[in-house]
């Protein structure tokens, strides 16, 4: 995988993760407004985006595992950081939504 291809792949991860983050924040806002069905839908949409980011990440891992040289630059590190931060955000927001339900 050349440098340009690597950049495009890592940008895919960032884009999917960023879109998922938006969905999760919208879900939190919906739950805050007692719109739990809407919140659930938004969480599911975010999860689909995270699944797409994981597919891209898995492709990179498989390439490296098969012996292909993968050049890891700052952009790749940023993409991984972005993805893992959004996964953590999802887990926290899911817990907040459950707390909102209990308190209301």
Count of beta carbons in the 10 Å neighbourhood of residue 19: 18
- What is the pLDDT averaged over residues 2-20? 92
* CATH code of the domain covering residue 46: 1.20.58.80
pLDDT tens per residue, range 33-80 = 999 999 999 999 999 999 999 999 998 888 889 988 887 888 889 999
Whole-number Å distance between alpha carbons of 76 and 100: 36
Query: Is 82 marked active-site?
Result: no
pTM above 0.75, yes or no: yes
Q: What residues have CB less than 8 Å from 103, skipping those under 6 apart?
A: none
pLDDT attached to residue 68: 87
Whole-number Å distance between alpha carbons of 104 and 75: 42
pLDDT tens per residue, range 13-28 = 999 999 999 999 999 9
Catalytic one of 4, 54, 78, 82: 78
Q: Would the pLDDT of 1 be above 80?
A: no
Domain limits at 24? 3-103
Whole-number Å distance between alpha carbons of 42 and 58: 24
pLDDT attached to residue 17: 97
Whole-number Å distance between alpha carbons of 1 and 64: 10
What domain count does the chain have? Answer: 1
């Amino acid at each position: 995988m050349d440098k340009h291809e690597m950049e495009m792949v890592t940008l895919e991860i960032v884009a999917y993760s960023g879109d998922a983050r938006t969905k999760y924040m919208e879900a939190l806002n919906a739950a805050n407004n007692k719109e739990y069905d809407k919140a659930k839908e938004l969480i599911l949409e975010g999860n689909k985006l995270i699944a797409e980011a994981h597919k891209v990440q898995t492709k990179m891992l498989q390439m490296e595992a098969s012996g292909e040289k993968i050049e890891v630059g700052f952009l790749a590190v940023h993409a991984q950081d972005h993805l893992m931060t959004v996964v953590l955000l999802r887990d926290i927001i899911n817990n907040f939504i459950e707390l909102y339900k209990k308190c209301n």
